[in-house]
Amino acid sequence: MTEANQADPSHRASDSSDRRILLSFMEIASATAGANDLDSVLETIARSLRRLFPVDGAALGLLEGESILVREISRRAPASPREPERLPADASHLLGWVISRDRALWRNDVPAEMRFSESVKTPGMKSDMTIPLKARGLVMGAFRVACRRRHAFDPEDFEVLKRCADMTAVAVETQRLLLATKRLAELDGVTGVFNHRHFRTLLEQEVEHARRLERPVSLVMIDIDHFKRFNDAHGHQAGDEVLRHVAQLTARALRRSDAVARYGGEEFVVLLPEAAIEDALPVAEKIRAEVERNPLSVGGTLRPLHVTVSLGVAAFPADAINGPELVAVADRALYQAKSRGRNRVCHIAAEVRSE
């Protein structure tokens, strides 16, 4: 480098800018390799980009089937996390437009935009840049950064963000694959609900949470009545269909905060956070009734299979002082339901049944 170049302020500014870009890209690469969850990766990306140009907010839209799941990543002001929003996978809104056209978009006067509705509910943003994200040659989503000032970005900023697209896409796809792998390890391979091992983890967490907040948590044990007959009469494939059928009907009867798991064999278990016994019994009865009134059609059988279940219910802290005891009490109630004729709900001292 010549002395003239060393003394040239514009040259030094260019070097400084290149160093900042390199540092930001290194941070993104490090986040891709070391983060434990997608939110951490995305927050690191937004923070790194803030070194290069003004960023007051960022958002990610990911294609999921026929819709786009939009999650807000970063805002300057602290706020509680928002639930992801699901939007149609079309060009009627910003992220959908970028994804469907596979084109980056730079806007320096957002309020004047008339082409489509805004997909990210971040009021006050007046400039933004949005890039498509690709994995294995296919567009999987879009990434947006925004600023509260008009004309906040210049052509160099837009080029830097576009250069960041591949790294961001790798980071997002890596975390999605890790999450999918983790989820598979938590799920039962036949029914798709949680497996026994993950249920044990959830049980410990929910009971500890209930103990700390002095709140109830209930548990429902479910057993498919005469399950062996389905296997013997129609084969194990039909038995698996029965298991999936009961799992799906059970999940349909629950709140989003509840959890259903396959306990083993033909048994399932349901965790109901914030539910006392008087709340849990109607839920158990709803499950029982849903299964009874929804016969299962299986290929190779002349008539639909009539499936019923027996259920036992227990609550913490009313019936048990810890997780294992909660399971044991619910299991005893389940045994009582079976001994009394099946297709019913029992809670040791109380019973609910549709005659």
Strand partners, 227: none
Token pair recorded at residue 10:
């514009």
9 in the Ramachandran plot: left (φ > 0), alpha (ψ -120 to 50) or beta? alpha
Q: Please work out, in degrees rounded to the nearest 5, the angle formed at the alpha carbon of residue 352 by the alpha carbons of 348 and 355.
A: 135
| Integer Cα distance of 279 and 284 in angstroms | 9
| Integer Cα distance of 165 and 142 in angstroms | 9
Token pair recorded at residue 255:
């709140």
| Integer Cα distance of 169 and 177 in angstroms | 12
Residue recorded with tokens 């084109």: 103
Catalytic residue among 72, 266, 267, 285: 266
CB contact at 8 A, 137 and 58: no
Q: Tell me how far apart the terminal alpha carbons of the chain are, to the nearest angstrom.
A: 92
- For residue 267, indicate whether it is catalytic: no
CB contact at 8 A, 60 and 84: no
Alpha carbon 259 to chain centroid distance? 13
| Integer Cα distance of 75 and 123 in angstroms | 11
CB contact at 8 A, 73 and 39: yes
H or E element at residue 330: helix 323-339
Residue recorded with tokens 């810890």: 322
| Integer Cα distance of 21 and 27 in angstroms | 10
H or E element at residue 156: helix 155-186
H or E element at residue 212: helix 196-213
Residues noted as catalytic: 266
